[in-house]
Amino acid sequence: MSTFPQVEPDEASAAFYEAAARGELLMQRGPSGTVLPPEARTDPETGSPELEPVVVSGEGTLVSWVVVHQAPLPALADAVPYVSAVVELAEGPWLMVRLLGDPTTLHAGDPVRARYVTSGTDEEPGAVLPVFQQVPGTAPR
């Protein structure tokens, strides 16, 4: 078991995970220019399903966070307690992410930044995942 359960990319997600392995965060962009999370299917500004991949900065701010004590899935049993968060990317989209670091110093609005971790175990590594961390030097305040 791992604190980051092993992930196997499929065809639809290959580009996202390959970008993460290069240290890049891959989102999507609609015809309106709106940047959308990887799971989005529609540009809400235009209604268009024509979304193109776009690499974003990986910089953002903290919207909300939770310290999870009761694992919601057996796959996460070794991970608790862990922090789940909503982050707002500088480009606009909100992501549900794992947040690394000490939760006791967090505040809404804190700067956060993408980091990249390998899922699975040393023996059985999986895809590289984007996670987030409070930007050092911004806490405590």
Burial of 27: CB neighbours in 10 Å, binned 0-12, 13-18, 19+: buried
| Residue that is written with structure tokens 């009761």 in the block | 70
Residue type, 71: A
Nearest CA to 83 among 112, 120, 58, 125? 112
Site for other proteins in 46-105 (CB under 8 A): 63-70, 72-76, 79, 82-86, 88, 92-98, 103
Minimum CB distance to other proteins, residue 50 (Å): 18
- 3-class DSSP assignment, residue 69: coil
Minimum CB distance to other proteins smaller for 23 or for 37: 37
Among 34, 43, 114, 134, binds other proteins (CB under 8 A): 34
**Which parts of this chain interact with other proteins (CB under 8 A)?**
4-10, 12-13, 16, 34, 36-39, 44, 63-70, 72-76, 79, 82-86, 88, 92-98, 103, 107-108, 119, 126-127, 129-131
